[in-house]
A and B are shown apart, each in its own frame.
Chain A
Amino acid sequence: MNNANKRKLFDSIVWSASLLFAFGLLISEASAESTGFSATNKTWSTECGSCHLAYPPDMLPAPAWRRMLSGLDQHFGTDASVDARAAAEIGAFLERNAGQGRKRGSDSGTLRITETRWFVRKHDEVPTTAWKNPRVKTPANCGACHSAAERGDFDEDAVRIPR
């Protein structure tokens, strides 16, 4: 192989490596986003989890999440607005993982998880005094009784109602 050919070969190797690297980055970014949709999503957990538990997406149906996202500037009395990019990412994540089926998928019009029929039914044996306990404070405080709520674990056997 003469020198000119060697240089050509070297060139093509370096070019291919650079292009592969660049494409690799593109692909890894795209897949990072799509694997995020399946279980957790960083933007969702950061944004939705800064003032309260990042409530699992399957606790409300997709139309409710859509309404929620379109009114974040007046989110239960506070301004929880996020930038357009974050809103789009969170919206897609919620949509994909929203509640499905007869119970979790039906839209009763409420944006409060605690007002959905499935929530009310699941908690119908919780005494009124427990809700009023200052250590519970609000039914939205899942972690007060569901100690593993942060990890998305709401197993009934792990429930400890504070006294």
Chain B
Amino acid sequence: MQRFKSMAAILLAGLLALPGLQAAAATPAEIQKSLESAARTSTPGFSGFSAERGQRFFSSTHGSDWSCASCHTSVPAQPGKHVKTGKVIAPMAPTANPQRFTDAAKVEKWFKRNCNDVLGRVCTAQEQGDVLAYLMSVAK
């Protein structure tokens, strides 16, 4: 039996090395959950996320020229357009684009980049969760 166990271990190790299996698929709700646990520790008096606050955040500028809506439109069920390059950006709302918020690393990467562009800093877990709550609330 022992020999089969070692063989199985090698096979399993090989399978885990397959590139496709490394990206863990997530759901927007799971990503929301992990933002929530981050916000619980980083935001004093955290009392949940608000879609309404998220919508305000999304469509406002924050000291610079751009808001999230500049590229993603204020109707996130619709495709957006990069304000500088003109490249079409697929809709942000998961109802309109089921691929959104299904890859935690991708979500983290884009929040970092875009918050730096729009706010000149990283966004807090509260802000990210509010925006996600808003986007998840957008009807198709």
Binding site for B on A (CB under 8 A): 11, 14-15, 18-19, 21-22, 25-26, 29, 32, 50-53, 73, 76-83, 137-138, 140-141
Q: Choose from B17, B87, B114, B116 the contact partner of A25 (Cβ within 8 Å).
A: B17
- In the complex, which residues of chain A have a beta carbon less than 8 angstroms from the beta carbon of B85? 51-52, 138, 140-141
Whether A51 and B18, one on each chain, are in contact in the complex, defined by CB atoms closer than 8 angstroms, is no
CB distance from A10 to the nearest CB of B (A): 10
B19, B84, B112: the one contacting A29 at CB < 8 Å is B19
* Interface stretch (choices B3-11, B51-59, B94-102): B3-11
Q: Is the CB of B86 within 8 A of A80?
A: no
* Max chain B C-beta neighbours (<10 A), residue from A19, A32, A51: A51
> Is B117 touching A79 in the complex (CB atoms < 8 A)?
yes
Q: Is the interface of B mostly helix, strand, loop or mixed?
A: helix
Q: Determine the residue in chain B with the shortest Cβ distance to A53.
A: B87
By the criterion CB–CB under 8 Å, are B116 and A77 in contact? no
Contacts of A138 in B (CB 8 A): 84-86
Question: Which residues of B sit under 8 angstroms from A52, Cβ to Cβ?
Answer: 82, 85, 87
User: Which A residues touch B114, using CB under 8 A?
Assistant: 79
Give which listed residue, B10, B14, B82, B112, contacts A79 with CB less than 8 A. B112
Mark B residues whose CB is within 8 Å of A. 3, 7, 10-11, 13-14, 17-19, 82, 84-87, 105, 109, 112-114, 116-117
- The chain A residue sitting closest to B120, CB to CB, is A79
B18 to A22, Cβ gap below 8 A? no
Known: A78-B84, A81-B113, A141-B85. A22 touches B14 (CB 8 A): yes
Contact status B13-A79, CB under 8 Å: no
Task: List, in ascending order, chain B residues with CB within 8 A of A82's CB.
Answer: 109
**A81 and B14 contact, Cβ closer than 8 Å, known pairs A15-B7, A52-B85, A138-B86:** no
What's the nearest-Cβ distance from chain A to residue B24, in Å? Answer: 16
- Chain B residue with the shortest CB-CB distance to A15: B7
Inter-chain CA distance A107–B138, complex, in Å, is 48
Residues of chain B lying within 8 A (CB to CB) of residue A76: 84
B13 neighbours in A (Cβ, 8 Å): 22
**Set of chain A residues within 8 Å of B17, measured between Cβ atoms:** 25-26, 29
